[in-house]
């Protein structure tokens, strides 16, 4: 009697990947990254200017919309919140820096194409993380307004500013609001400063990317938090003159972030 045997294929072992290797950096590395970011902007300014103009116009539209809805008192938090989506739109700038370093050709199709390609990748999930922080930012502003200023509206932004800086309640609202905002900003910075460029270059899941980003901040807290302060002050100064400063500063910050990522993270090799 003959038995029929069936060959069973042995499934291939999945390829295991090491976690990204995080390197310690110094203040000089941040300065070098900033210099490299400036060089990239000068080498291909048209792409950076496109992103900068988009943000400048978008910021003005946010403010005008708040004014039209008679919610001028939300102009400042809306403007600050609008800047939080910068890491997502900076993906195109990361691609420009990557191509310049690799001596690959540049073009508008590759610039916009890389941003379009992210719609089905892990960066899309990172966009939800940024959006969640933005919602938290706006919610805490409304909550603190109700707690310290009461449930009342202001006829103009000037009236709101006068109330904030001339009353004890307003000054307390300002202090607590900026403290909470600083915490949210630090959380967002820690989650995204490395994750967006990492996801562009390496096929990782967004959870790993966020963990790697936080590890980078924890590994080099002084230079990374120092860079966060530079970004914050630069954005505040850039937003002040009707968002016009963003036309130049935003692309430089974007290119610099790419080079900072390259200094912080050494992508691991696949191992079986």
Tokens 């990522």 sit on residue: 261
Mean pLDDT of 65-86: 61
Judging by DSSP bridges, how do beta strands 16-17 and 270-271 pair with one another?
antiparallel
Residue 43's pLDDT band, with cuts at 50, 70 and 90, is: very high
What is the structure's pLDDT at 208?
92
pLDDT digits (tens, 9 = 90+) for 89-130: 788 899 899 999 989 998 888 787 777 776 667 777 787 787
Whether the per-residue pLDDT at 3 is higher than 60: the answer is no
CA dist 46 and 33 (Å) reads 20
Domain regions of the chain by residue span? 20-265
pLDDT digits (tens, 9 = 90+) for 186-232: 998 999 899 989 988 887 888 999 999 999 999 999 999 999 999 98
What is the structure's pLDDT at 270?
44
Helix, strand, coil shares of the chain, percent, nearest 5, are: 75, 5, 20
* Choice between 119 and 167, residue whose per-residue pLDDT is larger: 167
What is the structure's pLDDT at 268?
56
83 Cβ contact partners less than 8 Å away, ≥ 6 residues apart: 55, 59, 235, 239
Residue 155's pLDDT band, with cuts at 50, 70 and 90, is: low
Cα dihedral 257, 259, 262, 263, rounded to 10, equals -100
Alpha carbon distances (Å) from 29 to 6, 135, 151, 224: 60, 33, 48, 10
pTM attached to this predicted model: 0.78
């Amino acid at each position: 009697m003959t038995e029929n045997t069936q060959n069973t294929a042995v499934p291939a072992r999945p390829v295991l990947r090491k976690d990204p290797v995080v390197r310690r950096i110094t203040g000089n590395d941040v300065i070098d990254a900033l210099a490299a970011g400036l060089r990239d902007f000068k080498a291909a300014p048209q792409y950076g200017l496109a992103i900068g103009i988009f943000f400048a116009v978008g910021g003005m539209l946010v403010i005008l919309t708040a004014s039209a809805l008679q919610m001028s008192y939300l102009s400042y938090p809306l403007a600050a919140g609008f800047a939080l989506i910068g890491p997502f739109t900076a993906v195109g700038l990361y691609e420009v820096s990557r191509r310049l370093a690799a001596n690959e050709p540049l073009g508008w199709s590759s610039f916009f194409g890389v941003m379009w390609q992210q719609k089905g990748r892990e960066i899309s999930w990172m966009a939800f993380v940024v959006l969640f922080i933005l919602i938290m930012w706006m919610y805490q502003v409304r909550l603190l307004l109700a707690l310290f200023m009461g449930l009342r509206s202001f006829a103009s932004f000037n009236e709101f500013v006068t109330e904030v800086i001339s009353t004890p309640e307003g000054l307390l609202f300002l202090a607590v609001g900026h403290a909470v905002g600083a915490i949210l900003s630090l959380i967002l910075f820690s989650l995204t400063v490395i994750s967006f460029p990492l996801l562009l270059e390496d096929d990782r899941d967004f959870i790993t990317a966020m963990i790697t980003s936080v590890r980078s901040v924890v590994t080099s807290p002084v230079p990374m938090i120092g860079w966060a302060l530079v970004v914050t002050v630069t954005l505040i100064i850039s937003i002040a003159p009707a968002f016009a400063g963003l036309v130049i500063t935003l692309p430089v910050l974007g290119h610099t972030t790419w080079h900072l990522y390259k200094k912080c993270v050494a992508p691991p090799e696949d191992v079986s």
